[in-house]
Amino acid sequence: MQNLVLFGFMGTGKSLISKKMTKILLFERIDMDSVIEEREHKTISEIFAQDGEAYFRQLEHELVKELAQRQDLIISTGGGVVLNRDNVTAFAKTGVCICLNTSPEIIYERVKTNSNRPLLMTENPLQTIKQLLESRKEYYAQVPYQLVTDNKDPEDICAEIMEIYNNHVSFALEE
Ligand code: S3P
């Protein structure tokens, strides 16, 4: 079966929703950041600090190419994976790609206590979130399916994802 690939800014709920979706679709779950951390034996913050963001983006791109060749996966991507348009194109060939959209204020509430997001280690993280969201708007818009998560229960979000997934897969079979 086609992969389910979740995109979206940091703190939009990709990890939580992908865990819940695993129980519904019974696919293996892959968290891209975790795979990169395991392979590098470093946290994301350490990779950014010691090797630089460009190196991280390269690792991310290599992993996208690898995962896009597999099937039956639920993939939780890193929030910046969209910055390389080839990543979205590769995932869309073998997977149903859905972008989770959440307002900056809710994102801020979720991420403010977490220190493993180097891009948000600024004096004013809420402002940084707003700026990054604005500058990445068109990149997230490249993801084929869009879903707004504000004020929705995770269960309802999963139900919407399932509907998108099933429609996509049955449409692909008809073609
Ligand atoms: C990033 C998002 C992070 C992680 C890295 C860069 C980004 O993933 O890949 O810190 O550029 O938006 P999450 O979206 O899982 O926090």
Domains of the chain by range and CATH? 3-174 (3.40.50.300)
Amino acid (1-letter code) at residue 96: V
Test site for ligand 1: of 119, 120, 128, 129, most ligand atoms within 8 A of the Cβ:
119
Ligand 1 atom with minimal separation from the 83 CA = 11
Order of strands, edge to edge, in the sheet holding 3-8? 28-31, 73-76, 3-8, 95-101, 145-148
CA–centroid distance, 80 to ligand 1, in Å, is: 6
pLDDT of residue 116: 87
pLDDT of residue 168: 94
Q: Are 86 and 63 in contact (CB under 8 A)?
A: no
DSSP-derived secondary structure letter, 71: -
Q: How much is the pTM?
A: 0.97
Test site for ligand 1: of 6, 32, 33, most ligand atoms within 8 A of the Cβ:
33
Give, for all 175 residues of the chain, the pLDDT tens digit: 999 999 999 999 999 999 999 999 999 999 999 999 999 999 999 999 999 999 999 999 999 999 999 999 999 999 999 999 999 999 999 999 999 999 999 999 999 988 889 999 999 999 999 999 999 999 999 999 999 999 999 999 999 999 999 999 988 777 6
Amino acid (1-letter code) at residue 103: S
